Amino acid sequence: MPNKLPYKRVYFLGIGGIGMSGLARYCLAHGMEVIGYDRTENKIVKALRNEGAQIHFSQEIKDFPELNPNTDLVVYTPAVPSSHPHFAEVSKQGLRLKKRAEFLGEISENHKVLAVAGTHGKTTTSAMLAWILKDNGKKPWAFLGGLANNFNSNYLQGDSELMVIEADEFDRSFLHLQPNAAVVTSTDADHLDIYKSHSDLLDTFNVFVEKVLSQNKGMVIAEKSTPVKRSHDYGLKAGDFFMENLRVNSGIQNFDLIHKGGRTPVELPMPGEYNALNAMAAMALANYVGVIFEDGAKSMSRFEGIYRRFEIHANTSLGAYVDDYAHHPTELKSAIQGGKSAFPDFKSLVIFQPHLFSRTRDFMIDFGKAFQGVDEVWLMPIYPAREEPIPGVSSEKLSSLVATKSQVLSSEEILKRAEEIEDKTLVMTLGAGDIDQIVQPLDEIFKRKWLKK
């Protein structure tokens, strides 16, 4: 489908973010000139530069003269503070400015939008949905919140009216969308720096689903326990879609998906009941747009996962290493449960980096409880992202609330001590900050330790 947007030159302020990079890829695929700024050159930024984006890392305008009146649109992410000097330059030059969510809403106009919302599980579910549709010839577009291994990207170039969008509740971004159908995976309290309360968050989710149910007369599939409006629901043991005969063997799950049309056997090559739930939701929404459950199940058996979503890096008889993006207490519990179910005979060591001072403060007690059943916990200092430190909120404080053995270590100390980790241990790195910088070094250490014996 040709580009119908009135832009030739788009500047992205914070281009290396997962949501921003998908939009940048869309612009590049449609022949627009893409320029942008980010603080550092991460994996995503390197890929964008290889794809033709012009990216710089200096906040000084003089170091990047391409930001000029010839730029049709400046897209920004809320992760970049309003004090950033580029905002002042944009205002000075009178350039058109749009938030990331507004631009995504504009792109999605005139498409049949299948949105996946929820405080947890939306990246995996939306990637599963996009893969099922692509694998069954539906040629969907997709904007994902993670790098799907089946596409090696967070963006999928389509050629149909179908568009899969990970609908982000942060900053109420998903209210810019006009979905034709949606999944709601979960509605746990989160982003309390944005929402006044959990009730405020739930009210906003209900505004989102009401747009689907009332305005677009579409389908909303919600997880059974979520207190939001819906037309259908799904769950482990009950709902319009539920499962029976769940079995786990070497990290592969098998279950029967029960639906109105009958019973469909599913093989999912990843552990964790939460991932089985995600697969059910994706298959149900794919069925809504014409993919029969049997074909959806065949696609799920070939699903290759998402970067930093329960990625198994080392899997040997002497030890295992798993990396995951989990950064909320509920996500930690789910990831740990998945790890222990996949490697039940190993001791467990969790390396966790708290993300945001405000989130750590708001869920300090819940974080402390999330590590129940773990043998040892290593905590990294809090990753601040867009925030300033909050007095009394620290990884040391969190460590005092962890019931099991725990300590606070820097990334350098972790890499040094990793050499001494005992055999028969499951190691998990969890968190959404820059903990990903130690994943490859740890992977190399563990493979060297456990594969040479």
Q: What is the mean pLDDT of the chain?
A: 91
- pLDDT tens digit string along 353-411? 999 999 999 999 999 999 999 999 999 999 998 789 999 999 999 999 998 999 999 99
The whole-number average pLDDT for the span 335-342 is 89
From the list 140, 210, 206, 202, the residue with the least C-alpha distance to 178 is: 210
Q: Which residues contact 137 (CB under 8 A, 6 or more apart)?
A: none
- Kindly tell me if the per-residue pLDDT of 2 is higher than 60: no
How far is 44 from 165, CA to CA, in rounded Å?
A: 19
Class of CATH domain 9-99:
alpha beta
How far is 135 from 304, CA to CA, in rounded Å?
A: 13
Give percent of the chain with pLDDT exceeding 70.
97
The identity of residue 58, as a single letter, is S
From the list 140, 169, 77, the residue with the least C-alpha distance to 286 is: 140
How far is 36 from 5, CA to CA, in rounded Å?
A: 19
How far is 87 from 103, CA to CA, in rounded Å?
A: 17
The whole-number average pLDDT for the span 80-88 is 82
- pLDDT tens digit string along 243-289? 999 998 877 899 999 999 899 999 999 888 889 999 999 999 999 99
How far is 347 from 51, CA to CA, in rounded Å?
A: 43
- pLDDT tens digit string along 182-230? 999 999 877 767 778 989 999 999 999 999 998 778 999 999 999 999 9
Confidence (pLDDT) at 3: 56
Q: Which fold has domain 311-451?
A: Protein-Tyrosine Phosphatase; Chain A (3.90.190)
144-148, 213-217, 315-319, 331-335: which has the minimum mean pLDDT?
A: 213-217
- Are both 9-99 and 311-451 of the same fold? no
Categorize the per-residue pLDDT at 435 as very low, low, confident or very high, splitting at 50, 70 and 90: very high
Q: Please tell me the pTM assigned to this model.
A: 0.84
- Kindly tell me if the per-residue pLDDT of 143 is higher than 70: yes
Name the range with the highest mean pLDDT among 194-198, 244-248, 305-309, 427-431: 427-431
The identity of residue 43, as a single letter, is K
Of how many residues is the chain composed? 453
- Kindly tell me if the per-residue pLDDT of 61 is higher than 80: no
145-149, 191-195, 277-281, 448-452: which has the minimum mean pLDDT?
A: 191-195
Confidence (pLDDT) at 81: 79
Find out whether 338 and 416 touch, Cβ atoms under 8 Å: no
Categorize the per-residue pLDDT at 453 as very low, low, confident or very high, splitting at 50, 70 and 90: low
The whole-number average pLDDT for the span 171-183 is 93
CA angle 238, 241, 243 (to 5 degrees): 65
Q: Which residue has the tokens 């070094």?
A: 441
Categorize the per-residue pLDDT at 300 as very low, low, confident or very high, splitting at 50, 70 and 90: very high
The identity of residue 95, as a single letter, is L
Confidence (pLDDT) at 65: 66
The whole-number average pLDDT for the span 6-12 is 93
Find out whether 371 and 405 touch, Cβ atoms under 8 Å: no
Confidence (pLDDT) at 74: 93
| HEC string for the chain | CCCCCCCCEEEEECCCCHHHHHHHHHHHHCCCEEEEECCCCCHHHHHHHHCCCEEECCCCHHHCCCCCCCCCEEEECCCCCCCCHHHHHHHHHCCCEEEHHHHHHHHHCCCEEEEEECCCCHHHHHHHHHHHHHHCCCCCEEEEEEEECCCCEEEECCCCCEEEEEECCHHHHHHHCCCCEEEECCCCCCCCCCCCCHHHHHHHHHHHHHHHHHHCCCEEEEECCCCCCCCEEEECCCCCEEEEEEEEECCEEEEEEEECCEEEEEEECCCCHHHHHHHHHHHHHHHHCCCCHHHHHHHHCCCCCECCECEEEEECCCEEEEEECCCCHHHHHHHHHHHHHHCCCCEEEEEEECECHHHHHHCHHHHHHHCCCCCEEEECCCECCCCCCCCCCCHHHHHHHCCCEEEECCHHHHHHHHCCCCCCEEEEEEECCCHHHHHHHHHHHHHHHHHCC
Categorize the per-residue pLDDT at 12 as very low, low, confident or very high, splitting at 50, 70 and 90: very high
What are the strands of the beta sheet with 311-315, ordered from one edge? 311-315, 319-324, 425-431, 347-353, 376-379, 405-408
Find out whether 132 and 283 touch, Cβ atoms under 8 Å: yes
Confidence (pLDDT) at 40: 82
- Kindly tell me if the per-residue pLDDT of 62 is higher than 90: no
Find the helix packing angle between 439-451 and 411-418, rounded to 10°: 10
- Kindly tell me if the per-residue pLDDT of 1 is higher than 80: no
Distances in Å between the Cα of 13 and the Cα atoms of 18, 20, 76, 170, 206 are: 13, 9, 5, 18, 31
Q: Which residue has the tokens 């409006």?
A: 229
Give percent of the chain with pLDDT exceeding 90.
69
Confidence (pLDDT) at 433: 86
Q: Which fold has domain 111-300?
A: UDP-N-acetylmuramoyl-L-alanine:D-glutamate ligase (3.40.1190)
Categorize the per-residue pLDDT at 89 as very low, low, confident or very high, splitting at 50, 70 and 90: confident
How far is 162 from 146, CA to CA, in rounded Å?
A: 19
Domain boundaries, the chain: 9-99, 111-300, 311-451
